[in-house]
Homo-oligomer: A and B are copies of this chain.
Amino acid sequence: MKSFRRVSREHHQEDTVVKLNTSQGPVFIGEGYCTIIAGPCAVETRRDYLDMACFLRSAGAHILRGGLFKPRTSPYSFRGLGKEGLDIMLEARALTGMPVVTEIMDVRDLDMLSQSVDILQVGSRNMQNYTLLDELGQVNRPVLLKRGLSATLEEWLLAAEYVLCGGNHQVILCERGIRTFETYTRNTVDIGAVPLVKKISHLPIIVDPSHATGKWDMVIPVSRAAIAAGADGVMVEVHHDPDRALSDGKQSLTPDNFKRLMEKVLPLARLDDKK
């Protein structure tokens, strides 16, 4: 893997810690922290999203997620509220003081999103959308780069290299499961990617156990595994009524299960002196 430059630990020895400023003080992602990103798969209605944001705030989540532009395998599935959802998301941000993260799919949305949300997410399907990565290298916003469905570790880090070599050094890697022959789970979490990324690169890495497993009752044990393996946080889906979610209901935690997640995960982080 000689092709890395800016993402490699040889190039930059110190761990990169991303800092997000909020009205409630800063939020960090990187070595020494255990950061919890939570929210519904997609922003669906104003009322539900604001309620969820308040709940997550009180339950200890650090960052709020929510899809506005949803990449869907079928063109006939719900594809997100788009710009209308952005207003709701920003209202939740103002209400709770939590930073927000959402996925960007189209370079033509870059101005709008980079001026309003705290982290720009690149989804698995766009991990090698180099047009998008080149543009994200030019903006002054952290990028959450999900691993492609069948991307090798090398390809993933080289996708991050695209953003860094454009001048934007604020990249957070997100392991979200890879595609294997096993069909019992939606994807297979590559837990080994966590210590490997930590060794090779200075960038933060988090795990998304919701997409990685596709099953809500695996989210807690896999989140624990992620933190125990050295991940800097997890990103999970939470929905008030998973059975009625417009997308990804099966993998969403209920609010009660999210509370249980916090109880089961935080002691592991404390064991390693993570904040």
Give A residues with C-beta under 8 Å from B: 1, 3, 5, 71-76, 105-108, 125-126, 128-131, 134, 149-150, 152-155, 158, 161-162, 165, 178-185, 188-192, 194-196, 199, 212-213, 217-218, 221-222, 224-230, 267-268, 271
Contacts of A128 in B (CB 8 A): 71, 73, 125-126
Least Cβ–Cβ distance between A161 and chain B, in angstroms: 6
Q: Verify B129–A192 contact, CB threshold 8 A.
A: no
Enumerate chain B residues within 8 angstroms of A196, measured Cβ to Cβ. 184-185, 218
Q: Known contacts being A126-B129, A158-B74, is A192 close to B213, with CB within 8 Å?
A: yes
Can you report 21 residue pairs joining A to B where beta carbons are below 8 Å apart?
A: A1-B184, A5-B76, A75-B165, A106-B131, A108-B108, A129-B129, A149-B150, A153-B184, A178-B181, A179-B181, A180-B181, A182-B190, A184-B196, A185-B192, A189-B191, A191-B222, A192-B213, A196-B218, A222-B229, A268-B268, A271-B271
Docked-complex contact B217 and A184, CB < 8 angstroms: no
Q: For A183, what are the chain B residues with a Cβ–Cβ distance below 8 Å?
A: 152, 183
Which 3 A-B residue pairs are closest in the complex by CB-CB distance? A150-B150, A228-B228, A125-B128
Which B residue's beta carbon lies closest to that of A70?
Answer: B130
A158 and B75 contact, CB distance less than 8 A? yes
A125-B128, A192-B212, A267-B271 are known; give 16 further A-B pairs, CB within 8 A. A71-B128, A74-B161, A107-B107, A108-B108, A125-B129, A150-B181, A153-B182, A178-B180, A178-B182, A180-B180, A185-B192, A188-B188, A221-B229, A225-B226, A228-B229, A268-B271
Closest CB in chain B relative to A229 CB, distance in Å? 4
Closest CB-CB distance, A204 to chain B, in whole Å?
A: 16
Residues of B within 8 A of A74 (CB): 3, 158, 161
Q: How far is the CB of A76 from chain B (nearest CB, A)?
A: 7
- The reply to whether B184 and A188 contact each other, CB–CB distance below 8 Å, is no
In the bound complex, do residue A188 and residue B182 qualify as a contact, i.e. CB atoms below 8 Å apart? no
Contact (A161, B75) CB under 8 Å given A184-B152, A228-B227: yes
Write out the residue numbers on chain B whose beta carbons fall within 8 Å of the beta carbon of A180.
178, 180-181, 188, 190
> A165 to chain B: which residues have CB within 8 Å?
75-76
B192 near A158 with CB under 8 A, answer no
Contact in complex: A3, B158 (CB < 8 Å): no
Complex Cα–Cα for A105 and B128 (A): 10
A130 contacts across to B, CB distance below 8 A: 71-72, 75, 105, 125
Q: How far is the CA of A131 from the CA of B80 in the complex (A)?
A: 13
Asked if A3 contacts B190 (CB within 8 A), the reply is no
